[in-house]
């Protein structure tokens, strides 16, 4: 969809803390980005949302169009059940708005499995992609590393990992502005013989297919936060554990900081002067709400998954990510490399037979 003002389709009923999160998020993002012309198509229960919108900022009220829905997908719903029962829900309608050309991108804090399953039904998979992947933008000293998959696919074959690499590289260029992002495969070591059969086969496939990106090779877990490569590829089981471990570590460090700075009067005085010298900047970097939002890659449409337990500030970050990708062309940029991958797989099959 091509237009000056991006339209963000919002599933307002999915968050753990209710629809207020979505409305607050819209107010927050319009405060953060006062120049954005973005508009918001908000799907959900009118009885709950109308009072929230009426109490929102004047600019938010002006930019929101409310679309009433009678049902919602609950966090406890199994993906298979959600697909069968979700037609007409806030999640389904938010996705349908992108499919029908009414909006550019979907943002939802709802049930991850259901969002993945319904997205595949409504938007369909991109040609050459077997399964979608969830990407996360990981802060590093060099900017951001895109890590995928972080939870959509517990088990992956070599071809799927290469598909993730192609999608992640295009996404990094579109969202983070890199010209030639580097790609690495997550492994237990950088040596050629390290790792399981799947990772080693994916490494060979990338090299044999002559994929058009800068391939670094294997990277290790600590290389993610160091930013050794711009894109790190792994299966959803490993990626989700890595992501949750990093989030837990950030919370632990933040706890230690609070504990240290309130342990005595001297520490409190020191914290006061540190606040003047940039402690607030560090606190902002450690706030998980500042990086909230993962993009579902591999679909014929753009979908941003917000953390279900976030608040308005965190949801605003996911909305900001949606605004960033709304004007990008990464969906079309991956097609040439997916075609190369398909040809390489066909050639290998002919050789093997």
pLDDT of residue 190: 83
345: which 2 tokens? 């797989």
Cross-strand bridge partners of residue 77: none
The share of the chain scoring above pLDDT 90, in percent, equals 49
Give the strands of the sheet with 105-108, arranged side by side. 64-68, 39-44, 7-11, 105-108, 302-305, 294-297, 133-140, 143-148, 231-233, 182-186, 214-219
pLDDT band at residue 345 using 50, 70 and 90 as cut-offs? low
pLDDT range class, residue 235, cuts 50, 70, 90: very high
Least confident of 24-38, 110-124, 317-331: 317-331
Query: For residues 336 and 54, which has the higher predicted lDDT (pLDDT)?
Result: 54
108 φ, ψ (degrees, to nearest 5): -140, 140
Give me 156's structure tokens. Answer: 């992956």
Residue 146: alpha-carbon gap to chain centroid: 9
- Percent of the chain clearing pLDDT 70 (strictly above): 88
What is the full DSSP assignment across 216-228?
Answer: EEEE-HHHHHHTS
Spatial CB neighbours of 8, under 8 Å, sequence gap ≥ 6: 38, 39, 40, 41, 103, 104, 105, 106, 107, 319, 322, 323, 326
pLDDT at position 36, please?
94
Mean pLDDT throughout 240-244? 87
The pLDDT score that the predictor gives to residue 81 is 86
User: Which pLDDT belongs to residue 6?
Assistant: 93
Mean predicted confidence (pLDDT) in 195-199: 90
pTM for the whole structure:
0.82
Instruction: Tell me which of 115 and 286 has the higher pLDDT.
Output: 115
User: How confident is the model at residue 306, as a pLDDT?
Assistant: 92
Of 29 and 330, more confident? 29
Distance separating alpha carbons of residues 284 and 288, to the nearest angstrom: 9
Task: Write out pLDDT tens, residues 212-222.
Answer: 789 999 999 99
Q: Which two tokens stand for residue 333?
A: 């940029």
Instruction: Tell me the per-residue pLDDT of 73-114, one tens digit each, with 9 for 90 and over.
Output: 988 888 888 898 889 999 999 999 999 999 999 999 999 889
The domains located in the chain, with CATH, are 1-129+298-328 (3.40.718.10), 131-290 (3.40.718.10)
**pLDDT band (50, 70, 90) for residue 336:** low
Residue 217 or residue 333, greater confidence: 217
Residue 271 pLDDT level (bands cut at 50, 70, 90):
low
The token pair that represents 233 in the structure block:
């590829």
Cβ proximity of 265 and 291 under 8 Å: no
* Cα gap 270→262, rounded to integer Å: 10
Between 194 and 279, the higher pLDDT residue: 194
Tell me what pLDDT residue 263 has.
78
| pLDDT at res. 2 | 42
Mean pLDDT of the chain: 86
* Band (243; pLDDT cuts 50, 70, 90): confident
pLDDT in tens, 121-132: 999 988 878 788
Highest mean pLDDT among 192-206, 226-240, 267-281, 315-329: 226-240
CA distance 258 to 64: 38
The single residue listed with the structure tokens 């991006």 is: 6
**161: its two tokens:** 């990992």
Average pLDDT over residues 164-183: 87
User: Mean pLDDT throughout 281-299?
Assistant: 73
Specify the higher pLDDT residue, 39 or 167. 39
- How many helical (H) and strand (E) elements, i.e. helices and strands, does the chain have? 15, 11
The neighbour count for residue 278, using CB atoms within 10 Å, is 9
Of 202, 172, 173, 177, the closest CA to residue 187 belongs to: 202
């Amino acid at each position: 969809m091509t237009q000056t003002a991006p339209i963000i389709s919002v599933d307002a009923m999915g968050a753990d803390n209710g629809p207020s999160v979505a409305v607050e998020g819209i107010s927050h993002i319009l405060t953060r980005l006062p120049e954005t012309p973005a508009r918001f198509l908000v799907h959900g229960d009118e009885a709950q949302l109308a009072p929230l919108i009426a109490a929102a900022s004047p600019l938010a009220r002006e930019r929101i169009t409310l679309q009433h829905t009678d049902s919602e997908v609950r966090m406890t719903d199994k993906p298979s059940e959600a697909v069968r029962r979700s037609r007409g829900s806030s999640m389904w309608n938010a996705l349908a708005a992108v499919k029908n050309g009414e909006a550019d991108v979907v943002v939802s804090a709802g049930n991850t499995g259901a969002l993945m399953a319904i997205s595949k039904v409504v938007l369909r998979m991109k040609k050459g992609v077997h399964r979608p992947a969830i990407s996360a933008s990981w802060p590093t000293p060099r900017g951001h590393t895109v890590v995928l998959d972080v939870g959509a696919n517990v088990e992956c074959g070599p071809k799927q990992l290469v598909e993730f690499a192609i999608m992640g590289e295009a996404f990094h260029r579109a969202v983070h502005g890199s010209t030639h992002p580097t790609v690495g495969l997550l492994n237990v070591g950088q040596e050629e013989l390290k790792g399981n059969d799947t990772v080693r086969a994916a490494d060979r496939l990338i090299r044999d297919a002559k994929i058009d990106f800068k391939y670094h090779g294997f990277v290790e877990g600590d290389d993610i936060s160091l930013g050794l490569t711009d894109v790190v590829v792994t299966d959803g089981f490993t990626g989700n554990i890595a992501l949750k471990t990093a989030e837990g570590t950030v919370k632990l460090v933040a706890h230690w900081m609070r504990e240290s700075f309130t342990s005595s009067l001297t520490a409190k005085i020191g914290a006061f002067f540190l606040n003047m010298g940039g402690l607030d900047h560090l606190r902002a970097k450690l706030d998980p709400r500042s990086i909230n939002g993962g993009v579902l890659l591999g679909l014929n449409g753009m979908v941003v998954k917000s953390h279900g337990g976030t608040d308005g500030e965190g949801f605003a970050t996911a909305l900001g990510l949606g605004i960033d990708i709304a004007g990008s062309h990464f969906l079309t940029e991956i097609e040439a490399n997916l075609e190369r991958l398909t040809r390489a797989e066909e050639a290998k099959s002919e050789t093997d037979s």
